[in-house]
Chain A
C-alpha cells in the first residue's frame, strides 16, 4: 500500500472537509469560517475564506458538478456559495430552525441539499426559480432528538439520517417539480415527502455518528457510539429487513463510514485510524486497520500506555517523552469521504480530524 498523503493544515479541529471534483480545491470547516485551499505542487495553500457564519461551522459540502459550496453552522443558518468573477457570493438559506444546524450534504442530483439540526428536523432545501431563493421543507415526524449525520441514496429521493435518539432512519425527501419519480425499490414503491421507509435501532443503542448507503442503494450501514457497525438489507416496503447485521468491535466508536463496493466498508473515528470491514448478507467482520504501522509491535502497546506512563513516573520520576500516536492522524477522525472511485470501487479516501490534518489514503 502506498504511503498516505498527509496535509497538516493547521493546529485546530477540522469539523468537515470536501474536495472539488477536480481535486484542486479543498474546503475545510475551521471555527466560524470555511477555508479554501488550492493545490500547488503536492501542497495545499490557503487561497480564500468564506466568511459569513457567526458561530462554528459544522459541515461543508462542494457539489461535484456545479461547484457550488453549501455550509451550515451552529448559528442556525446555511449558505450556498457561488463563484463569481468578484469572488464567492453567499446566498442565505432560510432553514426555519431554532437550534444549531449540524450536518449538510448535496443530493447526488445537486438540485437539493439536506441539513440536519438540533431542532429535531431535517431541512430539505431546493431552489425556487420564481422567487429566486432557496426554500426548505422539514422532515419531522418520527425524529426524537438531534440529527447528527445524513446520507443520500443514489436516487436523490431517499435520505438516511442518524440521530442522538440512537435510531437510523430512511426517509423520503421527494419534492414535486424538483425530483423525478424514483424507481420502486426494496425501500418503498410510492414515496411522498416524509414517508418513513425504515427505522433501525441496534441492541446496544448508541448515538448514531455515521450513516451510508451502499453504492447500489440497496443496503444501509450505520455506526454509533456503541463501537459497532450495523448493516441493514431491506426486504420489501413495510416489511422487516431481510437481514440486520451488527458487528460489535473492541475499538473506540467510529465517527464516519463509507462503502467500497457492496462488500466492504471503511470506518474511522476515535481510534484515529481507518478500519476495514468485509462481508455480505450472511455475515460481516472487522478486517483490521488500513494503516500499515511504522515499527514493530506498534499496535498493541497503546492500551497500557497510561499504566506505563504512571509506572515510569513512579519508578524513575520521568514522564513519557513520546506523546506521538503511532497512527497518521494524531487525534479523532471526524469525517471520511471517497476521494476517487471507479464504478463504485474506491481507489482513494480522504479523512480529516480534530488534529487539523487532511489525509488522502490509497486503498
Chain B
C-alpha cells in the first residue's frame, strides 16, 4: 500500500502547459538594470538623505526613483522601499504638488511617476514602517504570480496608520498628474520594486 495521498498532489505543477508553470521571466524587458545589492541600496539611501537634509526634496525623490532596484534582490528592494517612504514622509503636505511636478518634469518623467506609484502600493501593502524594513515578508500567495488577499494590515494603529495617510495623500496627488494609466501599469509591470 502506498502512503501517497493522490488527492493532495498539485497536478498543475506537473503539467508543463499549466499557467502555474508560465515562464514569468519572459515578461521582463531586456533593458532591466543589473541586480543591486542591499549595501548598494544603503549607499543610495545615504546620498538621498543628504539631499533631503540640504532641502532639495525634488532632487532626493528624483534620485531615489531613478535608482530603484528593479532587477535587485529582495534585500535591496526592502532597503530601498524604506528610503522612499522616508523621503515621502519627509516632505510636507503643502509641498507635495510642487515636488511631484518637479519630479515628473523632463525626460523619463512618466517612468518616475510609474515607479513612485509602485512604491506607494508596495508601501500600503507592507503595513507598518518597521515591519517593511526589518522582516521581509514571505509571499503569502500560494502562486508566485497571484496577488495575495490575506496580508496583515495595521490601519489606524500608531505609526502604520500615519504612514498610510501619508501614502494616500501622495497617491491622490500622483493620480491627479499621471491619471489612472499609472495605476494600471503597477498591475501589469513585472519590474517590481
Contact = CB atoms under 8 A, between A and B. Distances in A.
B188 A205 contact: yes
15 contacts: A144-B22, A144-B23, A165-B26, A201-B26, A203-B31, A203-B189, A204-B114, A206-B185, A226-B189, A227-B180, A227-B185, A228-B181, A251-B180, A251-B181, A252-B184
A225 B187 CA distance: 9
Given A204-B114, A205-B189, A248-B114, A225 B184 contact: yes
A196 B63 CA distance: 40
B175 interface: yes
A204 B180 contact: no
A303 interface: yes
Nearest to A249: B181
A146 to B, nearest CB: 10
Name the residue in A166, A203, A249 with the highest tally of chain B Cβ atoms < 10 Å from its Cβ.
A203
- Nearest 10 pairs of A and B residues by beta carbon: A250-B179, A206-B188, A227-B181, A226-B188, A204-B189, A250-B181, A205-B27, A248-B110, A203-B29, A204-B185
A251 B26 CA distance: 26
B190 interface: yes
Contacts of A225: 184, 187-188
B181 A248 contact: yes
Nearest to A142: B26
Nearest to A271: B180
Interface string A291-308: 000000000000100000
- In this complex, the interface size class of chain A, counting residues with CB under 8 Å from chain B, is 20 to 34
Given A167-B26, A252-B184, 6 more contacts: A201-B29, A203-B189, A205-B27, A225-B188, A248-B182, A250-B182
B173 interface: no
Contacts of A303: 175, 179-180
B191 interface: yes
B20 interface: no
A207 B188 contact: yes
B178 interface: yes
Tell me whether chain A's interface is mostly helix, strand or loop, or mixed: loop
A202 interface: yes
B22 A227 contact: no
B178 A250 contact: yes
B26 A144 contact: yes
Interface in A245-304: 248-253, 303
A284 to B, nearest CB: 13
A6 B161 CA distance: 49
Nearest to B179: A250
Interface string B164-193: 000000000001001111101101111100
A21 interface: no
B186 to A, nearest CB: 9
B151 to A, nearest CB: 24
A255 to B, nearest CB: 13
Contact of B22 (A145, A204, A248, A253): A145
A310 to B, nearest CB: 15
B180 A252 contact: yes
A227 B184 contact: yes
A245 B5 CA distance: 53
A202 B189 CA distance: 10
Nearest to B30: A201
Contacts of B187: 225
A166 B185 contact: no
A95 B26 CA distance: 28
B189 A201 contact: no
A205 B184 CA distance: 11
